[in-house]
Amino acid sequence: MQVLFGKYLRANPPPVTEVHELKMTSGKSIRWDRVAQHQLQALLDSSGEVGHYWKIPDMTSMGGFASPKPYDSQFVKNAKAYVVVWFYKPRQPKVFHKINVVDYMDLMAPAPRKSYREEDIAEISEKLYITKTVEK
């Protein structure tokens, strides 16, 4: 999912800074708690005046496959923050549901259910990304 979403973003750069938490499921629903509380908090902090600092970990190359680190750290604030959900279906178009983090939290706030179907997520998706056009 990360590779496909990265290709999409490079081909269609957002006009402003965005942060994303990506989740994929091959089932008909996704548990809302798949996005951990600390991830929601980091998304919220990144989208507001508080901001979010992140030290990019130094990685050692295991067999020479580590990507070069772009820089040591970043501080993100006033960004658009999203949870991106992909309901994987073999041999079907790849549709990513991009959900504003606040809308995602509003969906799970009353917690009437532990999981949500794609139809539920589609109702609050800001955009649907069809990544099939990105693959070459």
Domain 2-51+73-133 has CATH 3.40.1350: yes
What is the spatial distance between Cα 122 and Cα 65, in angstroms, rounded to a whole number? 36
Residue 135: its pLDDT value, please? 43
pLDDT at 133: 47
Question: Tell me: the pLDDT tens digits for 82-135?
Answer: 999 999 998 888 889 999 999 998 887 776 678 889 998 888 887 666 755 444
At residue 127, the pLDDT reads 64
C-alpha distances out from residue 74 to 57, 71, 97, 116, 119, Å: 11, 8, 26, 33, 36
Which pair of tokens denotes residue 54? 């992140």
- Give me the DSSP letters along the chain: -HHHHHHHHHHS--SS-EEEEEEEESSSEEEGGGS-HHHHHHHHHHHSSS-EEEEPPP---SSS-PPPPS-SEEEE-S-EEEEEEEE--TTS--EEEEEEHHHHHHHHTT-S-SEEEHHHHHHH-SEEEEGGGT--
For position 113, what pLDDT does the model report? 76
Sketch the domain layout of the chain as residue ranges: 2-51+73-133
pTM of the model: 0.86
d(C-alpha 23, C-alpha 72), whole Å: 26
